[in-house]
Structure 1
Amino acid sequence: MARVISLEEVKKHRRKSSVWIIIHNDIYDVSKFLEEHPGGEDALMDYAGKDGTQGFEDVGHSDDARELLKKFKIGTLSPEDRTKDITP
């Protein structure tokens, strides 16, 4: 069962040592991916501690990028904090 994480908890992770991003109501810890991200760390830091779904989809990530994302998943957003999901 996936760990349920509140939006308030996600908001605490906005610094380079701990970067959490919400994508499609799932939570990802991308702290260790900052230097490897092809778009640069600023692209991830722009969404640190908040929902990055629209930005993620606007870029048009490849299937490989979507597969890579799975390894950073740490949980899912609590039901009361969820927004209407954007279909990939």
Structure 2
Amino acid sequence: MAKVFTLAEVSEHNNSKDCWLIIGGKVYDVTKFLEDHPGGDEVIISSTGKDATDDFEDVGHSSSAKTMMEDFLVGEIDASTIPSKKTYTPPKQPHYNQDKTSEFIIKLLQFLVPLVILGLAVGLRFYIKSET
């Protein structure tokens, strides 16, 4: 049965003399591999103290690298000790009206129609007055 570690326990192993990683729910002691890592030891050390699965997968490691990992396996991580990843929620924004032209025309008509009616009424009044 594999030993189960907490994130706090794994996080204590975070330097070039004692380096552990969490990848895919498993804990690896990669201290002996640091000097041989093609990307350098800084890359690995920067991934300590957290779930490094995404970091590992983003690089696109070969199948032989994944097989080699088994030599460094020391146990599993207690998943309840790893903070859940937060998904991005965009901020609430006001509804965007894509058809600004129609909105502008409506406002323009709301302004002009009463003016036209008023102009016709005043003009009609003067016309009637001039006829009498």
Name the TM tier (shorter chain).
0.7 to 0.9
Tell me which of the two structures has the higher relative contact order, counting C-alpha pairs closer than 8 angstroms and 6 or more residues apart. 1
User: Matches of residues 1-88 of structure 1 in structure 2 within 5 Å?
Assistant: 1-82=1-82
SS of the residue aligned with 1:19?
Answer: strand
Deviations 1:3-30 (A, max 9, x none): 0011110111111111011001100000
CA distance in 2, matches of 1:48, 1:30: 11
Q: How many corresponding residue pairs?
A: 84
Name the TM-score, length of structure 2 as normaliser: 0.60
Which has the larger share of helix?
A: 2
| One-letter identity of the residue aligned with 1:54 | D
Please provide the CA RMSD for this pair.
Answer: 1.5
Which has the larger share of strand?
A: 1
| One-letter identity of the residue aligned with 2:75 | G
Deviations 1:19-76 (A, max 9, x none): 0110011000000100000111111111123211001000010100000011101000
Query: Identity percentage over the alignment?
Result: 42
Provide structure 2 residue ranges, at least 5 long, that are not aligned to the other structure.
Answer: 85-132
Name the TM-score, length of structure 1 as normaliser: 0.88
CA distance in 2, matches of 1:58, 1:80: 24
Provide structure 1 residue ranges, at least 5 long, that are not aligned to the other structure.
Answer: none
Which runs of structure 1 show a deviation greater than 2 angstroms over 4 or more consecutive aligned residues?
81-84
| One-letter identity of the residue aligned with 1:38 | P
Bigger radius of gyration = 2
